[in-house]
Amino acid sequence: MDRMKILLVDDEHEFVTTLAERLELRNMNVSIAMDGEAALGLVENDPPQIVVLDVMMPGLSGLEVLEKIKAIDSKIQVILLTGHGATKDGIRGMQLGAFDYLIKPIDIDELIEKLNEAMKSMA
Amino acid sequence: MNHLKRKEVAFFGKITAGITHEMKNVLAIIQESSGLMEDILDITENGTFPHKDKFIKSLDRIRGQIQRGIDITSRLNRFAHSPDHCPASLDLNEITQQMVLLASRFARLKNVVLESSPSDPPLVIKSDPVSLEMALFESIEILLNIIGSGGKIKLVPRKIQNKCVLGIGYENTVIPEEDFMTKISSTERWASLQEIMAYLGGTAKVFGLAPEILLYLPESIDN
């Protein structure tokens, strides 16, 4: 079976690199980006199947990046990461085409469940 | 609340909310780092990692404390967002539950348990969230100052004669109403509570025997 191809986007370097390591241990193919511009570059040049995208980032916001990803390739699934008390961003994101949203700090099992659901929805 | 005071409260709220987001990021990094350590231990063959059990136990403790940190910062974040909208539609069940979480430490220092008992159906009023939280907190502090150690303070939203009321009562003791009133009137906080309640368009009353402060609230602060 092909490895799931994930792009993690978050401006917290320690968070995104550690989470990437955990997903790689689960046999996923993970790349990372620390801002929206870098994420869009990767989406153009090496498209992932699923993007896990933080909403609150300096520069382009997560919701802006989401809109641009969907404009590049609407089939790419996006799971948003929001802060507590920012569920309205998650709901807005789903209106813009996000697959779902999770509240940070996330539970790894919950994230994996969402990734699997997102993969199934693409089949 | 005058315009400048409102701006001050909004300022404190905004800064605090921003800091809670930062704290959550720190917790998220600790959570993922300890999670990664667990993952590595999981794939390590038995017997090849000395003291593996001790590491697992230690990681469990870290996980418990991360969850505690998340709960605390979530409460603080919700509280910091209180001034965002004023007046706001407020579910009295939610606001009492929130206050139980926020004030539990103050009660615990007096060996008092803080609880809320939700009303069914929920009571929703239009009010000033920050001032209402202050009124609840003042009421809890008044009871904590006049009762001894131990026992339970219960926050009970309900309707009395068709009016929305928040009851803050102390269980496990009986005090005649006059004695309760005398004790309460001697506290500076009672005057402060009366002032807040006047701003909210309501009143604070007391009920003895099972000592209780009753906050009568209008359905809308505009009225």
Query: pLDDT digit string (tens) for B39-97?
Result: 999 988 877 888 888 999 999 999 999 999 998 898 899 899 999 888 899 999 999 99
Q: What is the DSSP letter of B120?
A: S
Helix (H, G, I), strand (E, B) or coil at A103: strand
CA distance B83 to A107: 30
Q: Is a pLDDT exceeding 60 seen at residue A24?
A: yes
Contact B33/A108, CB-based, under 8 Å? no
Contact B29/A18, CB-based, under 8 Å? yes
Q: Is a pLDDT exceeding 90 seen at residue B186?
A: no
CB A93 within 8 A of CB A101: yes
**Chain B CB within 8 Å of residue A47 CB:** no
pLDDT value of position B75: 87
Query: Among the listed ranges A29-38, B102-111, B173-182, B207-216, which one has the minimum average pLDDT value?
Result: B173-182
Q: What is the ipTM of this complex?
A: 0.85
Cβ count near B187 (within 10 Å): 15
Q: What is the mean pLDDT of residues B3-18?
A: 90
CA distance B50 to B67: 27
Separation of CA B48 from chain center? 48
Contact A104/B28, CB-based, under 8 Å? yes
How many beta-carbon contacts under 8 Å exist across A and B? 53
CB B123 within 8 A of CB B94: no
CB B75 within 8 A of CB B98: yes
Tokens of B123: 């009571």
Q: For residue B81, which of A56, A61, A58, A84 has the smallest C-alpha distance?
A: A84
ω before A48 within 30° of 0 (cis)?
A: no
